[in-house]
Chain A
Amino acid sequence: MAELFYSHAIRQALEEEMARDERVILMGEDIAGYGGAFKLTAGMADKYGADRVRNTPISEGGFVGVAVGAALTGLRPVVEIMFMDFLTLAMDQLANHAAKLRYQFGEQARVPMVLRTPAGAGRGYGPTHSQSLEKWLVATPGLIVVAPSTAEDAKGLLKSAIRCDDPVVFIESKILYGRRGEVPEGDYTVPLGEAKVVRHGEDVTIVAYSRMTEEALKAAEALAKYDIAAEVIDLRTLAPMDTDTVAASVEKTGRVVVAEEGHMTGGIAAEVVARIVESCFDYLQAPPTRIAAMDIPVPASPVLERAATPDWEDIGRAAAELVQKY
């Protein structure tokens, strides 16, 4: 095991997959010399050449479409969207093209591309640089959506994503970039589509992903002091969603809090709760609770940003209430 930053784990996955498979190429704004806004790919152009580590003009709609075309015809592009907020400019290519080609053209078509992008608030970047838009993606059939919370999962899931023959959106967390975690030596993958129980407990289930997993674990730690045993599930893949792992836990605990950094309405937590209600209604001892960002643009001022976005205290309070009231 080696200790790596989440960001370095992602970089390692890119490097190893590029070394393993010549068809893997990287594209994005300022990714070559500069290394991208978060310096993740710094120096990679020297190693793999400007053909394979390709700077693009500021043209998200264009270069995501280029990646779709390249993926359709033999390359395995990994594109970087500098901030998830800018994914909106590429939504047509993703939703109307990448997500539909296999379905409409059948066996002959496959779109083995990965779109990596950092999401989330916490840095005071303001309304156009702090969003978590995964709900747009999971609502688009034909996309696989991944959002790891640890360095180990980030590396293993990115490798799976690159080797996958379908379009995968790989959501990174700006805040988690700076977190360290144990990463296994050598080549390994983490399977797409599988949630993980990251803490065991009997009293209440907390479902989370990406940065909210960290917050959920902090909440669970705090709850333990009050003799409340929380089970924490990290979804890891948002689409397709691993409902079974979540349901198995809820059947045990009877109570559930679902936490996300995106906006409440129509969000990931809403989807998880709907699935729980459908699949294990009889086991529920308490109404499922969603913890999410308020339904407003993410403000820049630290005071307002904190007010608008959830953290471990919100999660902990909600979980404690479910246990105490029901």
Chain B
Amino acid sequence: MNYDRSELLKHYRTMVLIRSFEEALDGLFGQGVITGTSHFCMGQEASAMGSIAGLRPDDLVTSNHRGHGHFLAKGADSRRVMAELFGKATGYSGGRGGSQHMADFSIGFLGSNGITGGMTPIATGAALSQKLLHTGKVVLCFFGDGASGQGTFHEAVNMGTTWELPILYLCENNQYAMSTPTRQAFKQPSVAERAKGYGLTTSVVDGNDYFAVRKAVHDAAERSRVGEGAFLIEAMTYRLCGHSKSDACEYRPEEEEQAWAARDPLLLMAERLKQEGLATETDLEQARAEAYQEIEAAVQFARESPEPDPQTVADNLLVTF
């Protein structure tokens, strides 16, 4: 694969942006500035950015509860994502959705959602539209290993593959669903192995390696686009944090956590870029500085944004009435 250096640097910058977005959030939750809850994707930035890098810009993406990274990688405005977490009027959902419920159709992001597995049929439906409307677009559906226990996942995958839809089911297998390790929830912990039974083309990649994810998604997307049907990619990864704001994360072996921390996707990408002469330390330093600045600006924007007007709370429930 031939890579565009400036694009790679931009993607590295976005991965740092995603990380620091959530680091900032962590602090804001701690200070009580933000309430509610939130699921961080620290450690999963490569599967988010690598996946989206493998798509074309106008391809479509659906997300789940752990969606900040997916959304930012797809090109969301970090200021408006932050404002949504603040519950402000300028947030992507005007404060109605919060951390788990955001969308921007104009950049092909069809939404994150708090119901585990809830988006798999919706993504499949979006792929049906692409096929019947001949848009040439592909849909990428992010979901977790835990979500593959839901009936809707199996029902959706079956339709997606049987109807030969242009869809990529992208499992971010971080090996735990909340506190539950995959081997405790599934006799066959490999999502790809289980999915094979439905007749899908499947592959397993190192989810912490931006380049590996990008290539797997790119190859599958281009085949799916020309009518080869549904694909499932299982990206093996790990969250470098608790499940949600309220999780002290006491159920994972320390050695395991350390081993994965050593494979932090941000480190891996920086090393690779330098090794292959695709970026210098100065380039990377600058990218990081830019990302931090952008987050500071996002926090400031969110702080200064107005609260939503309670008078508008019932607006826009329906198109018709």
Contact = CB atoms under 8 A, between A and B. Distances in A.
Interface stretch (A68-76, A231-239, A278-286, A295-303): A295-303
Interface string B155-193: 000000000000000000000011110001110000000
Contacts of A19: none
A112 to B, nearest CB: 25
Nearest to A298: B96
Contact of A299 (B96, B151, B177, B178): B96
A33 interface: yes
Contacts of A149: none
The 10 A-B pairs with the shortest beta carbon distances in the complex, nearest first, are A300-B98, A301-B87, A301-B95, A57-B149, A124-B36, A128-B114, A307-B310, A34-B179, A57-B185, A126-B98
Interface of B: 35-37, 87-88, 91, 93-101, 113-118, 146-147, 149-152, 177-180, 184-186, 246, 251, 307-308, 310, 313-314, 317
A294 B186 CA distance: 41
A194 to B, nearest CB: 35
B317 A128 contact: no
Contact of A57 (B95, B146, B251, B307): B146
Given A34-B178, A59-B150, A294-B314, A303 B95 contact: yes
Given A86-B116, A308-B313, 16 more contacts: A29-B178, A57-B186, A58-B146, A89-B151, A124-B36, A125-B98, A126-B98, A128-B114, A129-B37, A295-B317, A296-B313, A301-B96, A301-B307, A302-B87, A304-B87, A307-B310
A178 interface: no
A128 B101 contact: yes
Contact of B87 (A37, A55, A61, A303): A303
A127 B97 contact: yes
Interface of A: 29-30, 33-34, 37, 55-62, 85-86, 89, 123-129, 294-297, 299-304, 306-308
A62 B101 contact: no
Contacts, number: 131
Contacts of A37: 178, 246
A294 B310 CA distance: 12
Given A58-B150, A128-B114, A30 B310 contact: no
A299 B246 CA distance: 21
A61 B95 CA distance: 31
Given A128-B115, A303-B310, A58 B185 contact: yes
A128 B100 contact: yes
B200 to A, nearest CB: 20
B315 to A, nearest CB: 9
A129 B147 CA distance: 17
Contacts of A61: 150-151
Interface centre among A61, A85, A127, A296 (most CB of B within 10 A): A127
Contacts of A125: 36-37, 98, 114
Given A299-B313, A308-B313, A58 B101 contact: no
B307 A126 contact: no
B149 A59 contact: yes
Residue picked from A34, A301, A302, A307, most chain B C-beta under 10 Å: A301
A113 B98 CA distance: 35
B313 A126 contact: no
Nearest to B34: A124
A56 B177 CA distance: 11
Contacts of B114: 85, 125-129
- Between A29, A56, A125, A300, the greatest number of chain B beta carbons within 10 A of the residue's beta carbon is seen for A300
Nearest to B117: A58
Given A294-B313, A301-B88, A124 B179 contact: no
Given A33-B179, A58-B185, A300 B95 contact: yes
Contacts of B113: 128
B314 A126 contact: no
B38 to A, nearest CB: 10
Contacts of A33: 179, 251
